[in-house]
Amino acid sequence: MNGSPTVNDHTVVNEMPSVDRTVTVNGTRTAVAESAIRPEHFRDVLGRFATGIVVVTGVSTAGGLPVGLAVNSFTSVSLTPPLVLFCIGHDSTSWPEMRGTGRFNVNILAEGQRHISARFASRSDNKFRGIDWSSAANGMPVIDGVLGLLECTVEAVHAAGDHDVVVARVHRMEVRDGGLPLLFYRGGYGRYTDL
Ligand SMILES: Cc1cc2nc3c(=O)[nH]c(=O)nc-3n(C[C@H](O)[C@H](O)[C@H](O)COP(=O)(O)OP(=O)(O)OC[C@H]3O[C@@H](n4cnc5c(N)ncnc54)[C@H](O)[C@@H]3O)c2cc1C
């Protein structure tokens, strides 16, 4: 075995040529060969990991206006204390608007809320136009009909490549609707069925 990946019907090796670079560890420079994965291949493979979809909602630090965006990089992190995370692209315009408040809500979308995901994944001056919502106990927006709500405060933000990893503490949460989740898989929407 030389460790090379096996190429068969199920394996597509799609890498750019290795790029030699050096890293410094404890003051020692070491040459490393870094395989540059093509972005489209990265998306294709990662797209096979099905996820739910949440809308992260908050209010703008400047004017207290509702802001939000669709996110599928959401996951739980810790039970004690209760921590969650999501990853936010550096080109997001909504996150910088709301992060100054240190608070936001996570709205877990139901299968009938595809239009809400699309709206909050789009560029829009007012993503809440025509969307039914109210203020949760923490004053941040909660969208009507979501499966679940988590009221959070920002615990830490870690830079990671072209995204930031936002770690947040959950202060209050509730199941809002008994329906089924909206799912995201290979760039499209789907619904959950029992096997
Ligand atoms: C199912 C799903 C899951 C997603 N998960 C994530 C996730 O986990 N993390 C994540 O970061 N994103 C995720 N996205 C993408 C995210 O929802 C969209 O990028 C959304 O538009 C971001 O909203 P925003 O208001 O922060 O930024 P936007 O204002 O929508 O800006 C997005 C991009 O458009 C550009 N832009 C904005 N306004 C203009 C303009 N007037 N003219 C030209 N360019 C403009 C911005 O510079 C930026 O590059 C997901 C999308 C979907 C559909």
Residues 105-118 have pLDDT tens digits of 999 999 999 999 99
| The pLDDT of residue 9 | 40
14 or 65: which leads in pLDDT: 65
The pTM of this model reads 0.87
- DSSP string across the chain: ---PPP-STT----EEEEEEEEEEETTEEEEEEEEEE-HHHHHHHHTTS-EE-EEEEEE-TTT--EEEEEES--EEEETTTTEEEEEEETT-SHHHHHGGG-EEEEEEPBTT-HHHHHHHTS--S-TTTT--EEE-TTSSEEETT-SEEEEEEEEEEEEETTEEEEEEEEEEEEE---SPBEEEETTEEEE----
Ligand 1 contacts CB of residue 129 (under 6 A): no
| The pLDDT of residue 17 | 52
Asked if the 51-185 domain carries CATH number 3.40.50.300, the reply is no
The preferred substitution site among 51, 86, 93, 129 for testing ligand 1, maximizing ligand atoms within 8 Å of CB, is: 93
Closest residue (by CA) to atom 34 of ligand 1? 123
What number is the average pLDDT over the span 165-172?
98
Measuring CA to CA, how many Å separate 30 from each of 18, 33, 58, 65?
16, 10, 44, 49
Ligand 1 contacts CB of residue 121 (under 6 A): yes
CA 157 from chain centre, in angstroms, equals: 13
- Looking at the CA of residue 68, tell me the nearest atom of ligand 1: 25
| The pLDDT of residue 121 | 98
- Looking at the CA of residue 127, tell me the nearest atom of ligand 1: 25
Cα 4 to averaged position of ligand 1 atoms, centre (Å): 37
Annotated domain spans of the chain: 15-45, 51-185
